[in-house]
A and B are shown apart, each in its own frame.
Chain A
Amino acid sequence: DTGVSQDPRHKITKRGQNVTFRCDPISEHNRLYWYRQTLGQGPEFLTYFQNEAQLEKSRLLSDRFSAERPKGSFSTLEIQRTEQGDSAMYLCASSLVLRTGLYEQYFGPGTRLTVT
């Protein structure tokens, strides 16, 4: 499978614990994005990388959240001291520039986080 992969698919953790998610983008894509999606809502942008550089972070990304993309390949999203409000689906996407100059984003299956 050459699509975007995410690991784990599901994570249940207790409030206050730290969690880390991994995203492996499509190999030739240089842009990688993280989104958060709560039930019944559309995804909300968290941050994105071009190669290894983190170019933008949303206000949603509090200081408990950190994302990295060492060597411009896979990315990790860490949440420290999890809170119940962090329960959501965390989606990763990678993108390729089209002939039109637009970026087509390909999404992974997501990591469902439940904080108890």
Chain B
Amino acid sequence: KNQVEQSPQSLIILEGKNCTLQCNYTVSPFSNLRWYKQDTGRGPVSLTIMTFSENTKSNGRYTATLDADTKQSSLHITASQLSDSASYICVVSASTDKLIFGTGTRLQVFP
């Protein structure tokens, strides 16, 4: 069964600190992996897209890594800001655009 699992389920950090979110997947065949940010009550917004040949991609303070051999990905957030408080969803695609979503990590950044 195609599944995407994320950890931790929730995370609280202080403003300015770094954090890393994890994603494990069992989707096959694998096409690409995406990280989305979803603010409460809003639709998800894409942060990064990586294909199997890419093992890291950055978008500002967000850096995603991918290990296609172990089927793991991480999202590292540097120097967190209050506006980073959101859910971060790992999404894996078995084709060019059919997406399988994880349940997300709820991040709260406190001053």
User: A57 an interface residue at 8 Å Cβ cutoff?
Assistant: no
Q: How far is the CA of A42 from the CA of B88 in the complex (A)?
A: 10
Which residues from A are CB-within-8-Å of B44?
Answer: 43, 91, 107
- CB-CB under 8 A for A42 and B46, given A100-B51, A102-B96, A103-B97: no
Across the interface, name the chain B residue whose C-beta is closest to A4.
B43
Instruction: Determine if B102 and A105 form an interchain contact, defined as CB atoms under 8 angstroms apart.
Output: no
Instruction: Determine if B43 and A45 form an interchain contact, defined as CB atoms under 8 angstroms apart.
Output: no
Q: How far is the CA of A104 from the CA of B99 in the complex (A)?
A: 11
State the interface size on chain B (CB cutoff 8 A). 23
Instruction: Determine if A112 and B41 form an interchain contact, defined as CB atoms under 8 angstroms apart.
Output: yes
Q: How far is the CA of A43 from the CA of B34 in the complex (A)?
A: 14
State the interface size on chain A (CB cutoff 8 A). 26
User: B42 an interface residue at 8 Å Cβ cutoff?
Assistant: yes
Instruction: Determine if B43 and A107 form an interchain contact, defined as CB atoms under 8 angstroms apart.
Output: yes
Instruction: Determine if A91 and B43 form an interchain contact, defined as CB atoms under 8 angstroms apart.
Output: yes
Q: Mark A88-116, 1 if CB is under 8 A from B, else 0.
A: 00010101011011111111111010000
User: A69 an interface residue at 8 Å Cβ cutoff?
Assistant: no
Q: How far is the CA of A107 from the CA of B97 in the complex (A)?
A: 14
**A-B pairs with lowest CB-CB distance, top 9:** A107-B43, A42-B101, A103-B97, A43-B101, A107-B44, A42-B103, A42-B89, A108-B43, A42-B102
Binding site for B on A (CB under 8 A): 4, 31, 40-45, 56, 91, 93, 95, 97-98, 100-110, 112
